[in-house]
Amino acid sequence: MKPLTFTLRERPDQRLDLSALVPHALAGKTPREIEQIDLQTTRQRFKVADAFRLRMGDVGQIRIQGACDRLDYIGREMKNGEILVEGDIGVQAGRLMAGGRLTVLGNAGPWAASGMKAGVFEIRGTAGDRLGSPLAGEIAGMRGGVVVVRGSVGERAGDRMRRGTIVVEGEAGPYAGSRMIAGTLIVRRKAGPLPGFLLKRGTIVLGDGCSALLPTFADCGQYDLVAMRWLAEMIEPYSKAAAVLLRRPLTRFAGDMAVLGKGEIFVRNRN
């Protein structure tokens, strides 16, 4: 069966809230009912029919064509099925996602995968600041699932992450993995300054190190740990590059000793 397809007519005048366009919310709806769904974020009403050309299909497979960075909250609280976005997207994509698969072929804005609980979220381009992070006032960020960013990410990726795995195949901005509570953040290339700032628990892996490491991380030596091999086996279906990195000897730094200090940063050895 063909996917249910939304094709953007033109770049909208206002930011749109696409959180209603998820498989479990659209199940059982008629084309007319879907076209009447409100998407506006201002006082000016903007329905699905105003923004998109709709082609009905399997609601378990949603495709959004011609997307742009004004489309926010895509895949928010998504429980199952699949969403494929052709183009860039706005803020908070995949926020509180609880299952299914969300794929973005372009770039994602800030707070992608914020508070994500389960499922798989792949971003083929870059992601903005605070990937997987909590919104202001929230205690924990990402709580489960797998996020793979093929490009680079902005600052504070994985901030206050509680569980789950983030793989960044490009570079990460400053404070990657800041305030992490647990979980795993893998950056294949270089990270910006001060990764693992106030890291309590959790694992950060840096393929090309970072521009500045906090002095509150203690060098524990170089290892080829079984846990990394196991993680490599688990991560390989999502990112071959990350799996290759994890199978190499890594130097372990324990920290952040400024807080609980039971976290760790692994850095690939250059020699």
Partner 1 sequence: MSLIVRGVHIDDTFAEAFGMRATALIITADTAGWARQAALTMTGFATSVIGCGCEAGIDCELTGKQTPDGRPGVRVLLFAVSTAELQKQLQARVAQCVLTSPGSACYAGLEGEETLRLGNALRYFGDGWQISKRFGAKHFWRIPVMDGEFVCEATTGLTKKAVGGGNLLLIGRTTPATRTAAEAAVAAIAKVPDVIAPFPGGVVRSGSKVGSKYKGVPASTNDAFCPTLRGAVDSSLEPGVTCVLEIVVDGLTSEAVGAAMRAGIAAVIKLGPKRGATRICAGNYGGKLGPHHYHLRELLP
Structure tokens at 243: 């799996």
Strand 184-187 to 163-168 pairing: parallel
Q: Which of 147, 182, 183, 153 has its CA nearest to residue 167?
A: 147
Task: Give the residue with the Cβ less far from partner 1, 212 or 227.
Answer: 227
199 near 255, Cβ under 8 Å? Answer: yes
Residues that bind partner 1 (CB under 8 A): 144, 146, 163-165, 182, 184, 201, 203, 223, 225-227, 229-235, 262, 264
Q: How far apart are CA 229 and CA 174, in angstroms?
A: 27
Task: Give the residue with the Cβ less far from partner 1, 76 or 143.
Answer: 143
Tell me the closest approach of the beta carbon of residue 67 to partner 1, in angstroms.
28
Tell me the closest approach of the beta carbon of residue 52 to partner 1, in angstroms.
33
Tell me the closest approach of the beta carbon of residue 199 to partner 1, in angstroms.
13
b/e burial code for range 17-46 (CB count within 10 A of at least 16 → b): bbbbbbbbbbeebeeeebbebebbeeeeeb
Tell me the closest approach of the beta carbon of residue 48 to partner 1, in angstroms.
33
Which SS3 state, helix, strand or coil, does residue 153 take? strand
Tell me the closest approach of the beta carbon of residue 79 to partner 1, in angstroms.
16
Task: Give the residue with the Cβ less far from partner 1, 33 or 223.
Answer: 223
